[in-house]
Amino acid sequence: MTTPAILLMILALLIVWGGLVVSILALRARPERDDLPPGGEDDTRDEGSVIVHDT
């Protein structure tokens, strides 16, 4: 392998693995979002009823 190919490979590896490390650290710092709105409404249909889609 040539020197530019090795340098490009090292750069690509640093970007990919560095992104993984940064993502893991960010998820450890803030594991769950707490600014989301409350959940949706419960489904009141019968168990075996057909789902009707507006298309």
Residue spans per domain, the chain: 1-30
Mean pLDDT of 17-45: 82
More confident residue, 38 or 41: 38
Element (H, E) at 54: none
Find all residues with CB under 8 Å of 1, minimum gap 6, and list them: 9
pLDDT-derived band at 40, boundaries 50, 70, 90: low
What's residue 15's pLDDT?
Answer: 97
Q: Which amino acid type is present at position 43?
A: D
